[in-house]
Amino acid sequence: MDFELTEEQRIVQRNVHRFMVKEIEPLAEQIDREDKFPPGIWKKLGDLGFLGATVAEEYGGSGFDLLTAVLVMEQMARTCPALAVSYGAHANLCADNLSRNANEELKRKYLPGLCSGDLVGCLALTEPNAGSDAVNIRTTARRDGDDFLLNGSKMFITNAPVGDIFLTYAKTEPDKKAKGITAFVVEKDFPGLSIPKKLNKMGNRGSPTGEVVFEDCRVPARNVVGKLNEGIKVMMGGLDVERAFYGGECLGIAEGAFELGLKYSKERDQFGEIICNFQMIKAKLADMYTEIEAARGLVYRAAVMADKAQRGGKGTEVHKLAAAAILFAAETARRVSNHAVQIHGGYGYMLEFPVNRFYRDAKLYEIGAGTSEIRRLVIANEIISKGLDYV
């Protein structure tokens, strides 16, 4: 297996990192404190070609493979995880999903705006009573002539307060459970859609999160994504891609925290000695590096395999591998950011020091995009039912 990135991928890496250092890093503390991004940032991401990373060029995208898109996510999170959260919801959960599942009319209507940054995309799936148990959503969609009327509510929806396009899941035949779910594109201006409040989060501040309410929200039948009552295929079809994609954010969080911890350890003097010379600090630094590189191998491999499976390749192990990648990467981000705070000592507990932001931001990925507990169940069930293939 070739573990070397292509020159094109390295150029993309450098371009994202350069943008983040120049445009975002000076504002990262302000973004966290004020819980909002400065105007114009989204459009700049579109101009650079990042918002439609995996979308075909004919729809305004960049046509990247999944690994290259993961590299974009990783470099964003290395500087500002909050921006990466919003980027992921837009580029992966919304735009990429539409590019793979929507009909030609919907693709041409929505993808160019999503890729340019003129539109902000969201995934409206999670509900107050349905998180990991996504099949038991309660939002309904009832046929009414040429439209559907949606009723229900969604919770913890990334980008909702600023969203233009909501890829929404609803029960069209509630009695059929998983076989009665349909996916829709819902525009923010459709009558009956409202965003009652923006949620106040512990971490990833700056990435707007909100509740979405549908009250007889009228959605044209032509806005069905995929086939009627086959929304579960849309939902599950991109799950491995999503896990690999968000594994890239976890990797970036760990890298950003590690860089801060290493830098501080080479500057802080205690007992007449720079603390990076202390054996316990060296042990932490070694562990942080090792976990990050192990996570990198899992995440990059999962991205390559998910891409192949998505396009008809073998990908026989991708389901459990993608779950393992985000499980390990998320827990690595939490452990590494914890070590980085510890290296900073009391200063790491102060809001003025950026390391605490990575610590707070890291926790999301043991909860969001499927909890660590659910990921372990996925891996174990795959191993038990299909066995292992080490040759």
Longest dimension (CA), the chain: 79
Q: Under DSSP, is residue 339 helix (H, G, I), strand (E, B) or coil? A: helix
Please tell me whether residue 168 adopts helix, strand or coil conformation.
strand
CA separation for the pair 204, 83 (Å, rounded): 8
CB atoms within 10 A of CB 169: 27
Distance CA 107, CA 172 (A): 22
What would the two tokens of residue 52 be? 């439609």
| 242 part of the active site | yes
Is residue 123 within 8 A of residue 158, CB to CB? The reply is yes
Give the H or E element holding residue 156: strand 147-158
Integer Cα distance of 104 and 102 in angstroms: 7
Q: Going by C-beta distance under 8 Å and a sequence separation of 6 or more, which residues neighbour residue 324?
A: 298, 302, 375, 379
From the list 127, 242, 249, 366, the catalytic residue is 242
Q: 197: which residues sit within 8 A by CB, 6+ positions away?
A: 210, 211
Q: Where are the beta strands (DSSP E) in 221-318?
A: 224-225, 269-270, 273-274
- Bridge partners (DSSP) of residue 127 are 130
Known catalytic residues are: 242
